[in-house]
């Protein structure tokens, strides 16, 4: 193995750890925003649902879009494989008497490498969540547009039975 300079390894460790921790907050933000966007879709569906307009094909399409939005939000909030503890196997390495003692520089390098692995693995989960979030936003926009179109394109109300007027002449 090539010579490792402690300060360089320290920098590698700090940057790797910071990148992984920042990725953790990205997932939390997506999940928090997903509930807000789904609340918007729910509000739009409820608002236009109480409208006195006829419930035509645009309204049915809006309900389908709402179902897609709810499914996308569920996929965002669904538990993910997430690497949290890069030092999970360090204890066994530190107490193993068959191997030479682990130097501070090598330990930091190994931890930094574990953070990099976690970043790549967790980044794949965030990429999946990003796609579901984009679908959620698109479906929510479709709910608003389709339900709004239903209200705008409503047919004029026609009475159930036509009114009949009979004129009768008075006889003198």
Exposed e or buried b per residue across 85-101, where buried means at least 16 C-beta atoms within 10 angstroms of its C-beta: ebeeeeeeeeeeeeeee
Return the sign of the alpha-carbon dihedral for residues 13, 15, 19, 22: positive
Name which residue leads in pLDDT, 10 or 170.
10
| CA–CA gap between residue 18 and residue 21 (Å, rounded) | 5
Model pLDDT for residues 129-155, shown as the tens digit of each residue? 999 999 999 999 999 999 888 877 766
Please tell me the pTM assigned to this model: 0.73
Q: What is the mean pLDDT of residues 49-75?
A: 85
**Tell me: the pLDDT tens digits for 86-134?**
777 777 777 778 888 878 888 888 889 888 988 999 899 999 999 999 9
Residue 70: the pLDDT is: 95
In the predicted structure, residue 1 carries a pLDDT above the cut 60 = no
């Amino acid at each position: 193995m090539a010579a490792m300079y402690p300060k360089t390894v320290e920098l590698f460790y700090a940057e790797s750890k910071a990148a992984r921790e920042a990725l953790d907050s990205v997932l939390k933000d997506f999940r928090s925003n997903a509930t807000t966007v789904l609340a918007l879709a729910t509000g739009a569906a409820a608002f236009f649902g109480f409208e006195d307009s006829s419930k035509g094909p645009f309204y049915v399409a809006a309900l389908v879009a709402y179902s897609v939005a709810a499914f996308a939000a569920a996929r965002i909030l669904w538990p993910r494989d997430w690497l949290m503890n890069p030092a999970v196997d360090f204890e066994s390495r530190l107490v193993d008497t068959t191997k030479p003692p682990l130097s501070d520089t090598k330990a930091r390098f190994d931890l930094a490498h574990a953070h990099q692995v976690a970043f790549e693995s967790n980044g794949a989960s965030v990429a999946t969540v990003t796609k579901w979030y984009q679908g959620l936003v698109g479906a929510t926009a479709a709910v608003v547009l389709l339900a709004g179109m239903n209200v705008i394109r409503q047919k004029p109300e026609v009475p159930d039975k036509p009114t009949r007027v009979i004129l009768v002449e008075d006889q003198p």
